Amino acid sequence: MRKGWILLGILSAALTAFRPSFTGYEIGDTATDFKLKNVDGTSVSLADYKDAKGFIVVFDCNTCPYSKAYNSRIIALNEKYVSKGFPLIAINASDNSSPGESTDDNISKAKKHTYKFPYLIDETQGIARAYGATNTPHVFVLNRTPQGLKVAYIGTIDDNPRSPDKVTVRYVEDAIDALLSGKEVPVKKTKAIGCTIKWKPA
């Protein structure tokens, strides 16, 4: 009996030691739905969008200079793709106790820029962790398939944060255009310098 317990102990220790650390989604993974509070007080889930062919999920925040630099491009992405079946969902996952990132700050940002898309609050930061969002703005393009919402692109919006007029590659647009025409997404994953998501102290 005692041997059994020891064995169990060794086994569970081994399992803990070799459990891979979860680092968020890779391309092709099935993305989880969520139910998060919007700036208008309602709750929003991806399941609410019955006709959507997919989604542009953007982890964003209010104070990050990269978020500011990309704000008009985020609004334009929704405008261009909502009618094509890819609505944009912005999520603020920053610790809402950090300056400029409270619910009220989210509300005034959405108002100021007349957001026509949800700006959700990931209060527990659980969705950002599940997706593996690290920066802001960090984009996940999801594609609806019979097997669920598949992650088709992860990364930055385009190749020039500094000047929109000098952009040469529009990664997110290229990804959605490819999905809409049944082609392979040309660049599936990108990295970019950016603000870290402000995580709550553990």
Partner 1 sequence: MRTPPQNILALLVVMLAITGSIAQTQEANLVSVEQLQSAIRGDESKIQVINFWATWCAPCVKEMPLLEKLHLSDNRVHVRLVSMDMDLDPNPEKVMAFIRRKKLLSEVLILNEKGPSNEWIDRIEKTWSGALPATLVVNNRNGKRKFIERQLQEGELEKLIDEVNN
What is the contact surface with partner 1 in residues (CB under 8 A)? 65-66, 69, 134-135, 155-156, 159-162, 169, 190-199
For partner 1, the closer CB: 44 or 139:
139
C-alpha 23/C-alpha 154 separation (Å) is 13
Q: Which is nearer to partner 1, 109 or 188 (CB)?
A: 188
Is the CB of 69 or the CB of 82 nearer to partner 1?
69
CB of 2 to partner 1, least distance (A): 38
CB of 189 to partner 1, least distance (A): 9
Euclidean distance between the first and final Cα of the chain, in Å? 38
In what helix (H) or strand (E) does residue 136 lie, and over which residues does it extend? strand 135-136
* Minimum distance, C-beta of residue 122 to partner 1, in the bound complex (Å): 17
CB of 78 to partner 1, least distance (A): 23
Cis, bond preceding 186 (omega within 30 deg of 0): no
One-letter amino acid at 160 equals: N
CB of 87 to partner 1, least distance (A): 25
Cβ(179)–Cβ(54) below 8 Å: yes
Sign of CA dihedral 125, 130, 132, 133: negative
Question: Rounded CA gap, 128 and 166, in Å?
Answer: 30
- Residue 66 vs 81, nearer CB to partner 1: 66
Q: Say how many CA atoms lie within 13 Å of 165 toward its Cβ.
A: 0
Q: Please, which residue, 68 or 116, has the CB nearer to partner 1?
A: 68
Residue 137: burial class (beta carbons within 10 Å; 0-12, 13-18, 19+):
buried
Q: Which is nearer to partner 1, 87 or 137 (CB)?
A: 137
Nearest distance in Å: CB 166, partner 1: 10
Q: Residues 192, 135: contact at Cβ < 8 Å?
A: yes
CA angle 189, 69, 61 (to 5 degrees): 75
